[in-house]
Amino acid sequence: TDSPVTVTLSASDTVTGVETSGVDAIRYRIDYGGWQQYTEPFVLEVSSGNEREYTVRYSATDLAGNVEPVHELSVGIDRKAPGTIPHVPMVQPSGWTNTNCFTVTWDENPHDLSGIGGAYYNFSEPSSSTDGTLVLGDDIMSIPCVQVPDELGDGAHNVYVWLQDKAGNSDHLTRRVITVRLDRIPPEIAPAVTGDLCEATGWYNSPIAVTFVATDNIPSGMVGGVISYHVVGGGGWVEGD
């Protein structure tokens, strides 16, 4: 839990069909402190930004002097957000891709008393600890198929990733930053023709040379320098430089 805990102890001394002496007292101790007489509920807490696990031991005594065996109760209070993911997460695909589905993974989580219970991500700098999309998972170390929002479009985009623990604590200031690269727009080819052109008719009266220039508006760049073409009615496709 991430809030103070109130502990209430109660005892009974009843056996069906048997008259008993009744409960005399309940005693308890917190961690390795001294034994105390229980008179009313008590509160266990930690200050903001801290974490602690308490052990409460307790036992009851009846009016005949019989003492119950000691019992233990563990209470964890976690008000401290997880730290930064130790190593920068990896993204797959790692380079440019035309598929809007990226998997973010990391190989280690920071220590946290309650344990890691989820991860946030956002495509803009987060302004609060919950300013993002939360993906839940016990000791999560992967976020599957993160998609670039439609309003951002293609290009290189930063993704901010930070953790939430099982007590619900998170801190956006611990975020890691990775980059995804999306390019779903095909390159464009512009032909340039040289030769003797009759301006009046638009016909050439000499052999022509056709030069193709390919451009890519999204900066993924051209994968290679091969352009395929064919002349209508003149056979199959040809790969040119």
> Which tens digit of pLDDT belongs to each residue from 182-197?
999 888 888 888 888 8
**27: amino acid identity, one letter:** R
Which residue ranges of the chain lie beneath pLDDT 50? none
CB 74 within 8 A of CB 57: no
**Predicted pLDDT at 224:** 58
Hey, what are 159's tokens?
């993704």
Give the DSSP per-residue string, 14-32: -BTTB----EEEEEEEETT
For the chain, the maximum distance between any two Cα atoms, rounded to a whole number of angstroms, is: 123
Within 8 A by CB and 6+ apart from 110, the residues are 82, 83, 84, 85, 86, 116, 163
Helices (H) and strands (E) in the chain, counts: 0, 20
Distance CA(14)–CA(10), nearest Å, equals 13
Q: What is the number of other CB atoms lying within 10 angstroms of the CB of residue 171?
A: 18
Within 8 A by CB and 6+ apart from 92, the residues are 102, 103, 105
Order of all β-strands in the sheet with 176-182:
96-97, 176-182, 155-165, 116-122, 133-136
> Which tens digit of pLDDT belongs to each residue from 28-80?
999 999 999 999 999 999 888 888 999 999 999 999 999 999 999 999 999 99
**Predicted pLDDT at 225:** 56
Strand pairing report for 176-182 and 203-204: unpaired
pTM to 2 decimals?
0.75
